[in-house]
Copies of this chain bind each other. A is one copy, B any other.
Amino acid sequence: MRSSTKPDALTKAEETRSRILAAALELFRRRGFDETTMREIAAEAGVALGSAYYYFASKEALVMAFYAQASKEMSARIETRLAETKGLENQLRAILDVKFEYFAPNRLFLGALSRHAADPHNPLSPFSAETAHIRELDLQHFAAALRGSRIAIPKSLAPYLPNLIWLYQMGLILFWISDRSPGQIRTRQLRDKSLSLLVTALKLAGFPLLRPLRKKIVDLLTAIEADT
């Protein structure tokens, strides 16, 4: 518990903890996740190996701490940007921009983590139960952008859209992580073209002739959602 005599300062323990986390992230960024050892992290933070383990039960726990911090910081930025931006496509782009900007220095690091991305049962996966609260925050941003949009979205489809767009965004991020084109130009192209496609598709979604297709899509989404 925080000492009640210094409510504004970090306690010694909190200071040590955040120094260890900072050292870990610095090394993860510089050398990648797998290559960084707990011994190096402890050395970089100026503590003994045992201390590092005292604060973080595993290397994995350091990653979870990173997730929490990133989610919190990005969420604030996203809310600011959404308030200054008009139009669904622009708002979605704004969300993506915040993420890419924030993640840019961590691309190598995230690349190592993406190994776990495909396994929803791995705690580090963006699909896992352990990261559910982070996902939830993201979903709220997407839902807000959709609510503010003037595009008429079919009622049957609407409940699934935040999740679908979240998934789309994860796909883009995964693509970006292993995009080796200079400055990740290809991801930028993909982002622009796919965003434009997405918005066009949403505009067409209510079109009567597409009813059978829409029905099949909703049917599919319902089946997937069943429990998860």
Contact = CB atoms under 8 A, between A and B. Distances in A.
A122 B112 CA distance: 10
A83 interface: no
A118 B117 contact: yes
Interface stretch (A1-9, A13-21, A53-61, A204-212): A204-212
A114 B119 CA distance: 7
Interface string A173-212: 0100010010000100110011011001100100101101
Interface in A52-108: none
A201 B213 contact: yes
Nearest to A194: B220
A190 B117 contact: no
A224 B186 CA distance: 7
Given A115-B116, A117-B118, A210 B220 contact: no
A214 to B, nearest CB: 10
Contacts of A209: 207, 209
Contact of A216 (B114, B196, B227): B196
- The bracket for how many chain A residues form the interface is 35 or more
Contacts of A190: 220, 223-224
A136 interface: no
Contact of A120 (B178, B201, B226): B178
A197 B174 contact: no
A127 to B, nearest CB: 9
B212 A174 contact: no
Contacts of A200: 212-213, 216
Given A114-B119, A193-B216, A197-B217, 15 more contacts: A111-B119, A114-B118, A115-B116, A115-B118, A115-B119, A117-B118, A120-B178, A121-B178, A181-B227, A193-B219, A200-B212, A200-B213, A201-B213, A204-B210, A209-B209
26 contacts: A115-B116, A115-B119, A115-B122, A118-B174, A118-B178, A119-B178, A120-B178, A181-B227, A186-B223, A186-B224, A190-B224, A193-B216, A193-B219, A193-B223, A196-B216, A197-B213, A197-B216, A197-B217, A197-B220, A200-B212, A200-B213, A200-B216, A201-B213, A204-B210, A204-B213, A207-B209
